[in-house]
A and B are shown apart, each in its own frame.
Chain A
């Protein structure tokens, strides 16, 4: 028992260290880049990140619908999620028509024209920066270099530590928690999430499969630049075949992310939110229980998210 707990602690620490290192580097790079551009550019640049963050958070909340009525269960480990991005999301193009070009280049104050912002998103090419180009009467009059991608990937990744305690009156409590990680100038990363699932089989023990319903709520902050929350209300069913559990579910979910920063050119602070992202999903997955629980899952709504979990426990 103590040996197992020692392994669990080591695994947890390793996961947190990896998560901290990755998040620190990414958040630092991201803030450094985004501060160089204004709101319109930042909105488009961050869109795949902001729209995939909620679906990532709302993934991997469960890996079985079986909750004993009165036998204690505990598992602890990490869930790694990756929301698959559409091919087109590696780049963007935003057009603003009929604006004062002087807002973007002082040399064109009073000239009305179009501005085209284009280039890689946060998950696009990390070598080639985007551009902000002004047009007057169909002819390019200025072009400014903007920012490159931070992570060239078709997946928006996330790793979260997770623990569950179940088997009390058919209830299971699940927690996601990250101790504060200080990122210096950026501030602290904070994450916490909690929720509960309840086994319908406690009332209907003759059901041919395990069925549960549940709710999960999470909050995530990176200093003052990112403030995100997500919630999911779900129903799931599973069936176990000795070592293998197959499961599926449906969830109504919600998420919101606000990004706030001060542009490095000294202009007024920028703040914007995405709160009209994915609202529902279906989930299918499998959990293999051989020493540890290895879990694979796909969630599909507006976006498709793949999740892998490694959990220890009993």
Chain B
């Protein structure tokens, strides 16, 4: 079944066919498993929100407790259940005001550096928190009202959280009011604080849990 063609034509045809084969680029099916992250349970969602609430109860008051000489950015390193470094920036006259010291500022920002989140240990687990919190400070009463929020990571789990009117004082051990909204895949939660060592976590549509801010222990409410 042979027909005569020149060697150059044969080479050209071979090259064209080879290019066509690669250009066709019929892709292969996937063979390796690509499972989605494990689904959260209500208890799991409450535990994640609780971990952030537990951490903020320790970190938040630092805005009004911090003492330092005048400089552009201050830093404070936590150790223990919450570990890592936060940076603080104080201003007078709001976020666009003039730089101030911790003793004179009426506005502050507390944040973690990119790639260096806080690590909070809750029970046997650990989570990392990236924070970017702003605060309106009342110097006379050494208190502040926090806003802003941050990001939550624990392995494959990620979530966002924001603070609304979270009130902290220099002497109090726990936020005296306000709330945190925690948004995880499938669940939305609100954590409310009342000045005691117990915060209440409401997982929208799935019940409530109480969080002991001293120990991080979570208990389902009836």
Q: Which residues of A contact B (CB under 8 A)?
A: 44, 47-48, 50-52, 66, 83-86, 88-89, 91-95, 97, 107-108, 111, 114, 116, 118, 121, 133, 135-141, 143, 208-210, 239-244, 246, 284-286, 288, 290, 294, 296-298, 300, 302-304, 306
State whether B126 touches A139 (Cβ < 8 A). yes
A140 and B125 contact, Cβ closer than 8 Å, known pairs A85-B31, A92-B33: yes
Known: A51-B31, A306-B21. A66 touches B1 (CB 8 A): yes
Given known pairs A116-B155, A133-B156, the reply for A296 and B14 (CB within 8 Å) is yes
Out of B34, B38, B123, which one reaches A92, CB within 8 Å?
B34
Are B27 and A296 touching (Cβ within 8 A)? Answer: no
Whether B7 is near chain A, meaning CB under 8 Å from some CB there, is: yes
Given the complex, which residues of B lie within 8 Å of A94, measured CB to CB? Answer: 33, 35
Q: Is the CB of B125 within 8 A of A136?
A: yes
Which of B26, B28, B45, B155 is close to A135, meaning CB atoms less than 8 Å apart? B155
Query: Count of A-B contacts with CB under 8 A?
Result: 164
Q: How far is the CB of B44 from chain A (nearest CB, A)?
A: 3
Give chain B's interface residue range (CB within 8 Å of chain A): 35 or more
Q: Are A304 and B26 in contact (CB under 8 A)?
A: yes
Is there contact, CB below 8 Å, between A286 and B5? no
Report the separation of the CA atoms of residues A176 and B7 in the bound assembly, to the nearest whole angstrom: 31
Q: A89-B32, A296-B18, A300-B26 are in contact. Are A141 and B124 (CB under 8 A)?
A: yes
Distance in angstroms between the alpha carbons of A83 and B31 in the assembled complex: 12
Q: For window 27-69 of chain B, which residues contact chain A by CB distance below 8 Å?
A: 27-41, 43-45, 47-48, 51
Q: Which residues of A contact B35 (CB under 8 A)?
A: 93-95
Bound-state CA distance A116–B156 (Å) is 8
Q: Are A135 and B38 closer than 8 Å at their CB atoms?
A: yes
List 17 interface pairs A-B (beta carbons < 8 Å), by A numbering.
A86-B27, A89-B30, A92-B32, A92-B33, A97-B39, A107-B124, A114-B38, A135-B125, A135-B155, A139-B47, A139-B154, A140-B126, A208-B1, A241-B5, A244-B14, A298-B24, A304-B26
Residue contact A89 to B38, C-beta cutoff 8 Å: no
Q: Which residues of B contact A133 (CB under 8 A)?
A: 155-156
Q: Is the CB–CB distance between B47 and A304 below 8 Å?
A: no
Kindly state the separation between the CA atoms of A107 and B124 in the bound complex, as whole angstroms. 10
How far apart are the CA atoms of A51 and B51 in the complex, in Å? 43
Residue in B3, B29, B31 whose beta carbon sits within 8 Å of that of A242 in the complex:
B3
Q: CA–CA, A83 to B11, complex, Å? A: 25
A304 and B32 contact, Cβ closer than 8 Å, known pairs A97-B38, A139-B122, A241-B13:
no
Q: Please tell me if the beta carbons of B21 and A86 are within 8 angstroms of each other in the complex.
A: no
> B4 to A242, Cβ gap below 8 A?
yes
Q: Which of A44, A84, A86, A239 contacts B33 (CB 8 A)?
A: A44
Which residues does chain A contribute within 8 Å of B4, judged by CB atoms? 241-242
B30 x A86 contact (CB < 8 A): yes
Q: How far is the CB of B156 from chain A (nearest CB, A)?
A: 6
Check A243–B154 contact: CB distance below 8 A.
no
Contacts A143-B155, A242-B4, A286-B14: A86 and B31 contacting too (C-beta < 8 A)? yes
Q: When the two chains form their complex, are residues B28 and A304 in contact, meaning their CB atoms are under 8 A apart?
A: yes
For residue B155, which residues in chain A have a CB less than 8 angstroms away from its CB? 116, 133, 135, 140, 143
A94, B10: Cα distance in complex, Å:
49
Chain A residues contacting B18 (CB-CB under 8 Å) are 286, 296
Whether B32 and A47, one on each chain, are in contact in the complex, defined by CB atoms closer than 8 angstroms, is yes
**Known contacts A86-B31, A95-B36; is A137 also within 8 Å of B26 by CB?**
no
Q: Which residues of B contact A86 (CB under 8 A)?
A: 27-31
Cβ of B187 to closest chain A Cβ, rounded Å: 10
Beyond the given A52-B31, A135-B154, please list 8 additional residue pairs across the A-B interface where CB-CB is below 8 A.
A44-B32, A138-B45, A139-B51, A140-B157, A241-B3, A243-B5, A296-B14, A298-B24
